[in-house]
Amino acid sequence: MLDFCIIGSGVSGSTIAHQLSKKYSVHIIDKARGPGGRASNKRFKKNLSFDHGVQYISPKSKQFYKIIKTLCKKKEAKIWTGNHLDFTFEKKEITEKFIGMKGNNFISKYYTKKIKKSFQSSVRSIFKNKYFWEIKLDNDENIQARSVILTCPFPQTKKIAGKYFEKKILNLKINMEPNITTMLAFKNQKTVPVSSIKFNDDILTWAANENSKNRFNSSNSLWTLQSSAGWARKNINKYKKSKKVENTLISKFLNFTGYKKNKIIFKKTHGWKYSYNFNGSPFKSYWNKKLRLGLCADWFIGPKVENAWLSAIDLAKKIK
């Protein structure tokens, strides 16, 4: 029988899978089309490539910095160079911005290369019988495993497995804020000597120049725009029905940059319902040895890739 079924192939799911696979049999299940979760890359047609979730990684801990440097040596990651404009003028120490060589899902891709995984498989519920876990998928498939680990955002994790949580987890006050992201392509624009822009605005807070990542040659100019959490909170349930939401975000960008609306040849908007938990929790991860049920994810510590990784490393230590 399978030792560990891991739900989610984001940074935390792929990190814990990689750690456990050194000793145990592991199978990752994810409802998405590929690995990465919120650290993912969307490709629409040839050369229309956008990092629509995670923008960059700036490691704080020595441990994680070492991992990212190793991935740079292996040509999986690199430093995002160029001009990063910050109109919020926040006082911040200058740190390197790391991105994936081909896309910002590089950590998950690298860690799960040799691991068994099933995509487009959504987990509906889990059930513990006397001997093992039964993981029930939306397509009515059933997977059996000795242990199960959930790595989804807190509301999704709670929905799948809440009835098995101890009170200290069930009662956590985790508030995951939304984000609205628009991917845009402009026809035949001049190369802009800017890699990213942090805006001082209530609606549009960030724009990334995808061409500045030097992953592809394109005569089109590709931008990823991200909204503020406050504005997304008001619009996350409207953006699919009303074009007004997308148009508001785009208008902001056109006004700030002078790009022309009639040059837009592609636009696509994605709503992240559960983007960030700004507050963290008193724990780094959770392991119930008796039930053989584990949880790890960024929301335990804070809204960064590094925290998803740290949470998974913490859980791996508890399991060992």
**Euclidean distance between CA atoms 216 and 258, whole angstroms:** 24
Q: Which is nearer to ligand FAD, 47 or 122 (CB)?
A: 122
Q: Which residues contact 265 (CB under 8 A, 6 or more apart)?
A: 185, 186, 187, 220
Q: Does 152 bind ligand FAD (CB under 6 A)?
A: yes
Q: Does 54 bind ligand FAD (CB under 6 A)?
A: yes
User: Which of the residues 253 through 292 are near ligand FAD (CB under 6 A)?
Assistant: 272, 275-276
Q: Which is nearer to ligand FAD, 263 or 270 (CB)?
A: 270
**Euclidean distance between CA atoms 191 and 226, whole angstroms:** 21
Q: Which is nearer to ligand FAD, 29 or 197 (CB)?
A: 29
- Answer for which of 2, 4, 12, 239 binds ligand FAD (CB under 6 A) is 12
Which one, of 31, 30, 29, 26, lies nearest residue 2 by Cα?
26
Q: Does 18 bind ligand FAD (CB under 6 A)?
A: no
Which one, of 102, 264, 254, 84, lies nearest residue 184 by Cα?
264
Hey, what are 296's tokens? 């790890």
- Answer for which of 305, 310, 313, 316 binds ligand FAD (CB under 6 A) is 305
**Euclidean distance between CA atoms 300 and 54, whole angstroms:** 18
Q: Which stretch binds ligand FAD (CB under 6 A): 30-38, 68-76, 83-91, 183-191?
A: 30-38
C-beta separation of 302 from 53 below 8 A = no
Interaction site with ligand FAD (CB under 6 A): 7-13, 29-32, 37-39, 53-57, 122-123, 151-153, 156, 160, 179, 181, 226, 272, 275-276, 297-298, 303-305, 308
